[in-house]
Chain A
Amino acid sequence: MVEAARTTLTSSGEAGSPAGLSVERLNDAYRWMVLARVIDERCLTLQRQGRIGFYAPLSGQEAAQVGAAFALQADDWVFPAYRELGVALVRGASLRSVIDQLIGNAEDLVRGTQMPNHFAFRAQNYVSVSSPIGTQITHAVGAAMAMQRRGAGRATIAFFGDGATSSNDFHAGLNFAGVFRTPTIFFCQNNQWAISLPRAQQTRSPTLAQKSEAYGFPGIVVDGNDVDAVCRAVLEARTRAVAGEGPTLIEAQVYRLGPHSTSDDPHRYRSDEAVAAARARDPLQLLKQRLVDAGALDDATDQKVWGAARSAMSAALEEAEKVAPVEPSSLFDNVFESLTPRLEEERSESAAVGPGAGAGR
């Protein structure tokens, strides 16, 4: 039923357990992956229509994200980059709260402060996202040090891409994690592209996973299109982490099927043939085929899965678009816990001027 482990290991690793996800869990995974793909497709259109300002799609990375999220516990802390919508959904972030953030309306949990995709879901231990690349890696290590201190039996996981392996904080974070043996999982989704720069121009290292060796802990390469293999790899890493055996670097090899974001045109830097080749290994199609082979899915049911996801998306969007815009006075909230005298003055000044004058539109 479950394919043989596709996980391969660098010299410092060991072969993992062949036990995989049940058909029931694979079915769940498929539904999350379809939902993520539906959100992607719809949001690209919404951006073109001017209904949301920006979007960074995750197409091609659904299996890596859902597989990783399946291996985590609710008490673990996720330090995401801006493309990890699939992880947020699996951890329980509601579709409505996702769309509220994409719109930046009055019910947006980040209060309209951030561009789309920069979520924060405290209830899901899904930590606030920033745009600078790799900065969350050291945060994941620090939180893991705090977990060590509290004896929590928990782990942190940092999500980042191939580009981030060149960043300052990748080096600092992995180095600290190695020195302090922190319960941290470094989950690199190598989607082959950092905006326009291909993976081969990011580093001369044959794999990204092998960089772990320099920091003194295992690195694993996993087929990121295989939800089961990803889940298994992250489970192993988590087990090591909470057992006090230290961090693991996982390189999930995927392919960014869409643009970096709604602000770029990938035709400028890559060929249609390369994308077509990657589409042949679309993680949704691979999982669908596996479920069909196992007798757990047929075309009629598949249609229903897609239909349900599209309905959920439409319903949530309709609700979210009815929500009022953010209050202008909230501009001054959460700079500090309470307003300084200067911010209080500025808030009054802004209120007196009114939101229309000087506003962008």
Chain B
Amino acid sequence: MTELTLVQAVNRGLQEAMRQDPDVLLLGEDIGVNGGVFRATEGLQKEFGAERVIDTPLSETGIVGSAIGMALYGLKPIAEIQFQDFIYPAFDQIVSELAKFRYRSGGQYPCHVVVRAPYGGGIKGGLYHSQSTEAYFCHTAGLKVVIPSTPADAKGLLLTAVHDPDPVMFFEPKRIYRSVSGEVPDGDHRVPFGEARVAREGTDLSIFAYGAMVPTALEAAEALARDQISAEVVDLRSLVPLDERAVVASVEKTGRAVIVHEAARFCGFGAELAALLAERAFYSLKAPVQRVTGYDTPFPYALENVYLPNAARIELAARASLRAG
């Protein structure tokens, strides 16, 4: 075990994957000599060489498109998109190509690429360095979508992603890259997809969150505990595949649900969770489902603290849920 920040855990996960398998390689903008704009790939080019840690020209469609070609040929590329906000030029490659290769070839051409991208607000990044675009990818058949919230999960989910046979979108909560640290197992460490983590047990209501919103949800749960309200916090970890059983089970226990994410509310991932609860936990619900999310505006610069969910907003929603019914 080693105490690491979340971004260090990503780095160790990449290093471990590359040490395990010479077919694993990285490509992206500024990831080699510069070690990545967030230093996620620091030291890796030095250890593995410029042919395995490839600084590419500035083109996201080029990065993902060439990663797809490498994967078809049998390598295991990990593509970095510098900010999730810049993923759109590669959207066609991800949605039309990466997600569909196995299906459209009748299984002849599986295409295993891991696409890493830092996501989310809270770093004063304005419209184009703050977005949470996970819902677009969750909506596309053929992609797995994973978001860690702890250093141990960052490494464990990343290593699972590298060994997974399917394309994986791996979104890293950049706001807590350095503000969160924790014990991370050394060597090979894997966290399976499709298994949510109960980050805090509770009996009065369930808070569902992922990525950078997990520490915020825990902060709210702590505040509620001071008023003898027992909130359970469920960290989803993988959105596709989703641990539907864990979501339903938690609400069967508590009867109340607060869903938290940074992305805009309308058609956000929370809508799917709310629908799931309506379909499968309706008779356990004692109150309407609450959503605490980014607003349906572009991500702002000066007003990002107004936009972003915080512990106080989660608390308000929790209390509203407890008052209702």
Contacts and interface: CB of A to CB of B under 8 A. Distances in A.
Interface stretch (B30-38, B54-62, B176-184): B54-62
Contacts of A118: 104
A76 B134 CA distance: 37
Interface string A87-122: 000000000000000000000111101100010111
A156 to B, nearest CB: 8
A340 B69 contact: no
A351 B10 CA distance: 42
Contacts of B89: 168
A169 interface: yes
A335 interface: yes
Interface string A331-343: 0011111001110
B116 interface: no
A187 interface: no
B177 to A, nearest CB: 28
B109 interface: yes
* Chain B, interface residues (CB within 8 Å), range: 35 or more
A172 B61 contact: yes
B109 A122 contact: yes
A172 B68 CA distance: 14
A137 interface: yes
Interface stretch (B93-101, B205-213, B298-306): B93-101
Nearest to B67: A142
Nearest to A114: B104
Interface string B40-73: 0000000000010000110101101111111111
B166 A110 contact: no
Given A132-B96, A135-B96, A340 B66 contact: no
B69 A128 contact: no
Contacts of B66: 138-139, 141-142, 145, 173, 176
B2 interface: no
Contacts of A114: 104
A147 interface: yes
B102 A335 contact: yes
B244 A341 contact: yes
B106 A142 contact: no
B102 A147 contact: no
Contact of B97 (A139, A140, A176): A139
Given A135-B93, A142-B69, A334 B62 contact: no
A77 interface: yes
A128 B99 CA distance: 13
Contact of A128 (B64, B105, B165, B244): B105
A130 interface: yes
Interface in B232-281: 240-242, 244
Contact of B59 (A79, A128, A130, A175): A175
Contacts of B67: 142
Interface of A: 77, 79, 108-111, 113-114, 118, 120-122, 127-128, 130, 132, 135, 137-147, 149-150, 156, 168-169, 171-173, 175-176, 179, 333-337, 340-342
Interface of B: 25, 51, 56-57, 59, 61-62, 64-75, 77, 89, 92-93, 96-97, 100-110, 141-142, 144, 165-166, 194, 240-242, 244
17 contacts: A135-B92, A135-B96, A137-B65, A138-B61, A139-B65, A140-B69, A141-B62, A141-B66, A142-B70, A143-B73, A144-B69, A147-B73, A149-B51, A169-B62, A334-B102, A334-B106, A337-B166
Given A146-B75, A169-B65, A334-B105, 9 more contacts: A77-B73, A121-B108, A130-B96, A135-B92, A135-B93, A142-B77, A145-B69, A172-B65, A176-B66
